[in-house]
Amino acid sequence: MHETLFMVLSFPRVVTSDNLRDVTGVEIAGALKNVLAIAAGIVEGMNLGNNSMAALVAQGCSEIRWLATKMGGKPATITGLSGTGDIMLTCFVNLSRNKRVGVRLGSGEELEDILSSMNQVAEGVSTAGAVIALAQKYNVKMPVLTAVARIIDSELTPKKAVLELMSLPQVEEV
Give the CATH number of the domain where residue 100 resides.
1.10.1040.10
Which amino acid is residue 135, in one-letter code? A
The answer on pLDDT for 170 being more than 50 is yes
Compute the chain's Rg from CA coordinates.
16
Residue 106 domain-assigned (yes or no)? yes
Residue 15 domain-assigned (yes or no)? no
Q: Catalytic residue numbers?
A: 33
Instruction: Give the per-residue pLDDT at 1.
Output: 41
The 10s digit of each residue's pLDDT in 25-75 is 999 999 999 999 999 999 999 999 999 999 999 999 999 999 999 999 999
Instruction: Give the per-residue pLDDT at 81.
Output: 80
**99-109: b or e for each residue (b if 16 or more CB lie within 10 Å)?**
bbbbbbbbeee
Residue 173 domain-assigned (yes or no)? no
Residue 126 domain-assigned (yes or no)? yes
The answer on pLDDT for 6 being more than 80 is no
Residue 16 domain-assigned (yes or no)? no
Spatial CA neighbour of 52 closest among 162, 169, 173, 171: 162
Section 124-145 average pLDDT: 96
Residue 131 domain-assigned (yes or no)? yes
Residues spanned by the domain of 136 = 23-164
Residue 154 domain-assigned (yes or no)? yes
Q: How many domains in the chain?
A: 1
How many whole angstroms separate alpha carbon 88 and alpha carbon 91?
5
Dihedral, CA of residue 38, residue 39, residue 41 and residue 47, to nearest 10: 160
Section 89-113 average pLDDT: 95
pTM of the model: 0.87
Residue 136 domain-assigned (yes or no)? yes
Section 132-150 average pLDDT: 96
